[in-house]
Amino acid sequence: MTNDTWFIPRGSRSEDGWTDVVDDRIDGWTHTGLRTGTVTDGGELRLASAAVERIVVPLAGSFHVAFAGSAGTGSQSLEGRASVFDGPTDVLYLGSGSSATITGSGRIAVAEVPTDQVKASTYIARQDVPVELRGAGQSSRQVHNFGTPAALDAVKAIVCEVITPAGNWSSYPPHKHDTTVPGHESDLEEIYYYESAVARGVDAPDTAEPFALHRTYASDDRPIDEFRQVRTGDIALVPYGWHGPAVAAPGYDMYYLNVMAGPDPERVWNITDDPAHGWVRQVWESEDIDPRLPYGRKNA
């Protein structure tokens, strides 16, 4: 992978049982990381003690995490969910210096952000995850803010996940957070981990191939030009630049997990809209939220 190609197809960075590992060994990548993996009955995934804070996020399935370190020692069951389109999940924050062993059955993601500062390991229950319906009309999406400053006392990490119904645009209007302007814009790397599935209530043939679209383009003299078709397990990195839209193709719901952090002393997500497209926010004032939202448990 070179620093002018910020796309990681599923399975292209496998390591130690993990499906993919993103960290600072990628040229030009410094402030964020991500691990994705699958645990089978009787198997396990391990997290070595390191100077990183982590958030363990069940994607599909249920898990048990045994952890130890200066941030706390103990064990925590994660109820999880049937799929990423089943509403929010409970999550576990592991403070810097923690080691952990993950058992259970299903797919899991671990957001990672380098830091020497230690915050206490914390469990966030499903019912305590703030759920936000953002945008309106065809820009409607559902955000689970379990790892944002309002919900979690972390050092650097800003983590959330977004569900976008089929045919809608997300991460829109295109925006950036690649320059420090106190009170106006933050300097943050961002990871997008994607999943896509046949839309709820749609009877699709077995040959269906769910996908979504991701876009990143230059905001200054730093070159970047990414326009990708993404499928379940693919990862897009945004080191800088305008990013968006992320588009859910008709017939296919889209999910992405965002991991953000940067060099700024303040842990805050301040963005600047692309001035060519920021005006679309005004249109939302006369539109309703997509009636398909919110997504929760299918049997709820």
How would you label 211-233 residue by residue, b for 16+ Cβ within 10 Å and e otherwise?
A: bbbbbbbebeeeebebebebbbb
Q: Which residues span the domain enclosing 186?
A: 7-281
pLDDT over threshold 60, residue 216: yes
Residue pLDDT, tens place only, 16-49: 999 999 999 999 999 999 999 999 988 999 999 9
The answer as to whether 66 is a domain residue is yes
Task: Kindly indicate the confidence band of residue 241, based on its pLDDT and cuts at 50, 70 and 90.
Answer: very high
In order of 57, 85, 199, 289, the CA distances from 295 in angstroms are 18, 7, 11, 12
Q: How large is the average pLDDT for residues 104-120?
A: 98
The answer as to whether 275 is a domain residue is yes
CB 147 within 8 Å of CB 56? no
Whichever domain contains 152, its CATH number is 2.60.120.10
Q: Percent of the chain having pLDDT more than 70? A: 98
The answer as to whether 291 is a domain residue is no
Q: Residue by residue, what is the 3-state secondary structure of 13-57?
A: CCECCECEEECCCCCCCCCCEEEEEEECCCCEEEECCCCEEEEEE
Which residues lie closer than 8 Å to 296 by C-beta, 6 or more apart?
86, 87
State the Cα–Cα distance between residues 285 and 274, nearest whole angstrom.
19
Number of domains in the chain: 1
The answer as to whether 102 is a domain residue is yes
The answer as to whether 125 is a domain residue is yes
CB 111 within 8 Å of CB 157? yes
The answer as to whether 295 is a domain residue is no
In the numeric block, the tokens 């499906």 are attached to: 19
The answer as to whether 299 is a domain residue is no
Residue pLDDT, tens place only, 175-213: 999 999 999 999 999 999 999 999 999 999 999 999 999
Task: Determine how many CB atoms are found less than 10 A away from the CB of residue 77.
Answer: 13
pLDDT at residue 2, as a whole number: 43
The answer as to whether 296 is a domain residue is no
pLDDT at residue 154, as a whole number: 98
**DSSP three-state, residue 285:** helix
